[in-house]
Amino acid sequence: MNTEFTLLTLSDNFPNEESCIRYFEKMRWGDKVVSPYDESSKVYKCANGKYKCKNTGRYFDVKTGTAFANTKMPMRAWFYVMMLFLSHKRGVSSCQIARDLGITQKTAWKMLHKIRQYMAMENNHTLSDEVEIDEAFVGGKNKNRHKDKKVEKCQGRSYKDKVPVFGIRERGGNIVAKVVPDIHGDTLLSIVNEYVTEGSVVYTDGAGYPGINIDYEQRDVDHSKHFYGATYATDEGEIIVVSTNGIENVWSHFKRMIFGTYYCVSKKYMQQYIDEFVFRFNTRNFSDSQRFNLLLRNAA
């Protein structure tokens, strides 16, 4: 099989269900099958892709314990959905998946959410050196709502009708983004402490983060005074760019993904869509097949 493949060549690389199962087995176990019930147990190969754990007497297959277990959809359909999902820069809706596969929208929606749970692993990187932090508010505009659905006093940084999301971007590297219950300084600083290494330079938009100067060097861009960035050189010749444009660019792309593809996302599932976006951003230099293999390894 060609190690580099695209959506167009997917059917050539995985012509049948057996080829998909064997590929996933290699991703999950390598050259030796391991029982999910007892890793030290000897394993017997049975018919129809089944295996038996000697110590527990229980049967299993490569899908046991993964998102693909207990579903009626064949692995080939899962592979197609994953590749279609990943090859689109801003995602693909469950309605489109349903039309492509000839399944119900409800089934397609469940498949996509099962896939998203394995994207969350890319949203836990440790960031260092120079990082930018900022919060965003995701939700519809009050002026676009019907008169009986408008929310009073929701202007500015209010999150009465929106979901607050906090993001950290390492310059030239990965991002971490989390849905937060509020935008209080101590709430956001706890996330910075969890994901940013001590001693890093943190660029902010002037919002208060009490105690951030203890473990980090803080550099501010005070947007309230219409100051959006500056570049200067130190006596040692180091070029310093004081700006949060990087993380703000991240929010711009995220909102385009939501409004352009999904249109409306409930608060309940906002973190899953954040995880999807972070996965796409952090693997932006991957090929489609590399991104596919990474996601398949996470599921394995």
pLDDT of residue 212: 84
Q: What is the pLDDT of residue 120?
A: 92
The whole-number pLDDT of residue 204 equals 85
Q: What letter would DSSP give residue 225? A: G
Q: Which long-range contacts does 201-207 make (Cβ < 8 Å, 24+ apart)?
A: 201/129, 201/130, 201/131, 202/131, 202/132, 202/133, 203/130, 203/131, 203/132, 203/133, 203/242, 203/243, 203/244, 204/132, 204/133, 204/134, 204/244, 205/134, 205/244, 207/135, 207/183
Angle subtended by helix axes 75-87 and 17-29, to nearest 10 = 70
Q: What angle do CA 160, 154, 90 make, to 5 degrees?
A: 70
Strands (E), 71-156: 130-138
How many Å is the Cα radius of gyration of the chain? 23
What is the per-residue pLDDT for 1? Answer: 60
pLDDT of residue 110: 93
Q: Residue ranges of the chain with pLDDT lower than 70? A: 1-3, 140-161, 207-208, 222-238, 240
The DSSP-derived string for 166-202 is EEEEETTS-EEEEE-S---HHHHHHHHHHHB-TT-EE
Place of tokens 């929606």: 109
Residue-wise pLDDT tens digits, 288-300: 889 999 999 998 8
Which amino acid, 266?
A: S
pLDDT of residue 34: 93
Total-model pTM: 0.85
pLDDT reported for residue 141: 62
DSSP-assigned beta bridge partners for residue 166: 135, 178
